[in-house]
Amino acid sequence: MKPALIVHGGAWDIPDEAVDACKSGCQRALGAGWTLLAGGGSALDAVEAAIMVLEDDPVFDAGYGSHLNLDGRVECDAIVMNGATLRSGAAATLQRVKNPIQLARKILENCPHMMLVAEGAERFAKEHGIKLCKPEELVSEAEQEAWMKCKADKHAAEHHRGHEQGTVGAVAIDRDGRLFAATSTGGTCCKLPGRVGDSPLIGCGCYADSEAGGVSCTGYGEAIMKIVMAKTAVDLLRSRVTCVDPIAAADACDLSSADLAAREAVHLLGKRTHATGGLILLDRHGNPGFAFNTPRMAYGYVALDGNFVIAV
């Protein structure tokens, strides 16, 4: 089967100054994942490699440069899911793991449970060869500055502007038809310590089923959880999508069923929760789809001719 790969770097009001950095991050993430897939590598290795690039890039809200919580600390969440077995590995509220996706993978492959949090997750990381970092090593100067402004002025919304979101995700299918989806985030700016959003929750921020497709979501976590958005989108891929979104219905003939499913899920998010967000997906044949109801989303995928399509 022909491999396929799609990535995202968050759906939000991305300011003009951040567009190039977001594009370049998506380009490098696609490059890292596609090099593996094109060489016959596994979809699991590809999503991990793509997400690590995005986690290491401070323009995104994952790993280094994540938003700080109310206490001024980074707390990261991540998940990776196997579409063949429906098994996921997830970790939440990590303060000392540089690349949370690596720990999610270790949990997927080596843990009897599917999700670990906080100290227990970090202990598991250490026991499985992941070196823990100091919490301060995950804090970027820009996020520290933004947090100081929030602190001095009661976390006013305008301080969050320009550094609002930027969760990252990837979905891949390899030559052998293996499908994996993954999501990694630092969560929302100035969240309460211990808060966990949609991102590491199976069915909410991520879902994969080889019989239908794989999805990674981004946006307002508390709303995405309400409609279990990733699983909803996968179920839309499974069924024939009926258009309730009038805009999608109007150009339905120009849209692939993958794009239609993505649009329907995001439409439902807006309709039932009045919140914003977006998602990327691959259907089981590897066709990419995406949708967002925010001003912008950073994303990229490998087109049929092998070219990278990157957009913000």
Smallest gap from Cβ 298 to ligand ASP, in A, equals 11
* Nearest residue (CB) to ligand ASP, 93 versus 185: 185
Q: Which span sits near ligand ASP by CB under 6 A: 172-180, 218-226, 250-258, 285-293?
A: 218-226
* Nearest residue (CB) to ligand ASP, 197 versus 288: 197
Rounded Cα distance, 82 and 73, in Å: 31
Smallest gap from Cβ 139 to ligand ASP, in A, equals 18
Does the protein bind ligand ASP through residue 3 (CB under 6 A)?
Answer: no
Say which residue the tokens 């994952």 belong to.
Answer: 62
Among 3, 6, 9, 10, binds ligand ASP (CB under 6 A): 10
Q: Which span sits near ligand ASP by CB under 6 A: 30-38, 90-98, 106-114, 183-191?
A: 183-191
Please list the active-site residues.
167
Q: Which two tokens stand for residue 118?
A: 């906080």
Q: Which span sits near ligand ASP by CB under 6 A: 99-107, 219-227, 244-252, 303-311?
A: 219-227
Does the protein bind ligand ASP through residue 185 (CB under 6 A)?
Answer: yes
Does the protein bind ligand ASP through residue 218 (CB under 6 A)?
Answer: yes
Does the protein bind ligand ASP through residue 165 (CB under 6 A)?
Answer: yes
Smallest gap from Cβ 229 to ligand ASP, in A, equals 10
Smallest gap from Cβ 161 to ligand ASP, in A, equals 14
Does the protein bind ligand ASP through residue 100 (CB under 6 A)?
Answer: no
Compute the Cα dihedral for 280, 67, 221, 203 and give only its sign.
positive
Does the protein bind ligand ASP through residue 188 (CB under 6 A)?
Answer: yes
Smallest gap from Cβ 78 to ligand ASP, in A, equals 11
Q: Which span sits near ligand ASP by CB under 6 A: 89-97, 104-112, 182-190, 265-273?
A: 182-190
Residues 42-81 close enough to bind ligand ASP by CB under 6 A = 61
DSSP assignment of the chain, as one string? ---EEEEEEEEE---HHHHHHHHHHHHHHHHHHHHHHHTT--HHHHHHHHHHHHHH-TTSSSSTTPPB-TTS-B-EEEEEEETTT--EEEEEEESS-S-HHHHHHHHHHH-SSSEEEHHHHHHHHHHTTPPP--GGGG--HHHHHHHHHHHHTTT-HHHHTTSS---EEEEEE-TT--EEEEEEE--STTPPTT---STTSBTTTEEEETTTEEEEEEE-HHHHHHTTHHHHHHHHHHSPPP--SHHHHHTGGGS-HHHHHHHHHHHHHHHHH---EEEEEEETT--EEEEESSSEEEEEEE-TTS-EEEE-
Q: Give the CB-nearest residue to ligand ASP.
A: 221
Does the protein bind ligand ASP through residue 93 (CB under 6 A)?
Answer: no
Rounded Cα distance, 218 and 9, in Å: 8
Binding region for ligand ASP (CB under 6 A): 10, 61, 165, 167, 185, 187-188, 197-199, 218-219, 221, 224
